[in-house]
């Protein structure tokens, strides 16, 4: 990658922090400016060790603040923006959708306006989700031509931002690429999402709540494989094009929870089956999509991407990471 200065919005969040670590490891001379509001989901601690270097800096700012963003773009010539800043939790979007509209839609709009006004070449990589496509039945997979059909305020706000990015590419010629990725897992994910919540409750010997009958299916991808895909799309993706990212790795929520139970028991030396007995079924989330599955044929064929990490090994590493760092990072 020949970029000399990149902006990563949301770079102090889960995927963003993993991406900044990934890019810094692979391109140690590239300057990276993280732009992050540091909501509950982002923290300087996720970038520990990087913020002391000359290459990585953090600007605490709101992407929906137009003046602040214009100041940033006028001060520095960025070769590219990896746009990850978002409100990202579906349950929170049901309880209070407004922040999702403000950050995910207006924030993306403000960044696109900044790009439209600048004369230097700057590629915009918009990081989005497979949730924009809605829900699948038992068969089939989302491809890039699947019609958008979002179910939650979160996915609707991401869908709106995807459309804005396409429109700014077609109307104003902004150099933009979009990725729609399946569920990620790995270190630094705020412990409100499924995998860290399950690990925490099991560690504490509490009951693990599973929505509905636990038969909802998700396609899980280790965060480093997502980072590799983002790097490849940024470098070689065709402007104006969307790329689905997924690992062909479908699990029902219950299968995944049981897999975590067995690992926690092994690591904490508990009797076999101890944690599975903690699983309890709770009322389903409203509008809960039944199944997501990704057809990642385009990124595999056109850019040669494929997931590199073995799922079982990555899940094991992730469980161990949370057991070791949860208290240090979140004080829980």
Ligand X SMILES: NC(=O)c1ccc[n+]([C@@H]2O[C@H](COP(=O)([O-])OP(=O)(O)OC[C@H]3O[C@@H](n4cnc5c(N)ncnc54)[C@H](O)[C@@H]3O)[C@@H](O)[C@H]2O)c1
Contact set with ligand X (CB under 6 A)? 9-10, 12-16, 36-39, 41-42, 62-64, 84-88, 103, 107, 127-129, 158, 181, 183-184, 190
CB of 67 vs ligand X, minimal distance in Å? 14
The question of whether 130 is a catalytic residue gets the answer: yes
Q: Which of 87, 130, 162, 224 is catalytic?
A: 130
The question of whether 131 is a catalytic residue gets the answer: yes
- Per the rule left: phi > 0, alpha: psi between -120 and 50, beta: everything else, 263 is alpha
- Closer by beta carbon to ligand X, 128 or else 146: 128
- Closer by beta carbon to ligand X, 188 or else 258: 188
CB of 220 vs ligand X, minimal distance in Å? 9
The 10 Å Cβ neighbour count of residue 19 is: 26
CA 166, 128, 236, 306 torsion-angle sign: negative
CB of 265 vs ligand X, minimal distance in Å? 26
CB of 223 vs ligand X, minimal distance in Å? 8
Q: 234 with 264: CB under 8 angstroms?
A: no
CA angle 310, 243, 187 (to 5 degrees): 40
- Closer by beta carbon to ligand X, 180 or else 275: 180
Q: Which of 131, 224, 231, 289 is catalytic?
A: 131
- Per the rule left: phi > 0, alpha: psi between -120 and 50, beta: everything else, 305 is beta
- Closer by beta carbon to ligand X, 154 or else 275: 154
Kindly state the DSSP code that residue 45 receives in the 8-state scheme.
Answer: G
- Closer by beta carbon to ligand X, 16 or else 187: 16
Which of 197, 216, 217 lies closest to 208 in space, CA to CA? 197
Q: Which of 154, 190, 258, 322 is catalytic?
A: 154
Helix H, strand E, coil C: the string for 146-164 is: CCCCCCCHHHHHHHHHHHH
CB of 129 vs ligand X, minimal distance in Å? 4
> In sequence order, what DSSP letters do the residues of 70-132 get, joined into one string?
HHHHHH---SEEEE------HHHHHH-THHHIIIIIIIHHHHHHHHHH--S--EEEEEEEGGG
Which residues are marked as active site?
130-131, 154
């Amino acid at each position: 990658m020949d970029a000399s200065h990149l902006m990563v919005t949301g770079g102090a969040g889960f995927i963003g922090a993993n991406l900044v670590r990934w890019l810094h490891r692979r391109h140690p001379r590239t300057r990276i400016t993280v732009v992050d509001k540091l909501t509950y989901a982002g923290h300087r601690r996720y970038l520990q060790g990087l913020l002391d270097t000359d290459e990585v800096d953090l600007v605490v700012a709101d992407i929906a603040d137009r003046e602040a963003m214009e100041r940033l773009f006028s001060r520095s010539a960025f070769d590219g923006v990896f746009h990850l800043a978002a409100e990202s939790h579906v349950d929170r979007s049901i309880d209070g959708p407004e922040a999702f509209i403000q950050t995910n839609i207006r924030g993306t709009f403000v960044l696109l306006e900044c790009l439209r006004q600048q004369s230097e070449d700057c590629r915009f990589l918009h990081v989005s989700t497979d949730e924009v496509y809605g829900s699948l039945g038992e068969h089939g997979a989302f491809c890039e031509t699947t019609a958008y059909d979002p179910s939650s305020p979160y996915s609707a706000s991401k869908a709106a931002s995807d459309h804005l990015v396409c429109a700014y590419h077609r109307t104003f010629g902004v150099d933009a690429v979009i990725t729609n990725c399946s569920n990620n897992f790995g270190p630094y994910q705020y412990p409100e999402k499924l995998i860290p919540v399950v690990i925490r409750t099991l560690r504490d010997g509490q009951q693990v709540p599973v929505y509905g009958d636990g038969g909802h299916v998700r396609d899980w991808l280790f965060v480093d494989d997502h980072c590799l895909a983002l790097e490849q799309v940024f470098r070689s993706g065709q402007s104006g094009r969307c790329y689905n990212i997924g690992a062909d790795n479908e699990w029902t929520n219950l299968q995944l929870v049981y897999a975590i139970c067995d690992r926690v028991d092994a690591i904490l030396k508990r009797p076999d089956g101890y944690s599975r007995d903690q699983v309890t079924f709770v009322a389903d989330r409203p509008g809960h999509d039944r199944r997501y599955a990704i057809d990642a044929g385009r990124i595999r064929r056109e850019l040669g991407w494929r997931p590199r990490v073995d799922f079982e090994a990555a899940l094991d590493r992730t469980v161990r990471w949370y057991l070791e760092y949860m208290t240090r990072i979140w004080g829980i």
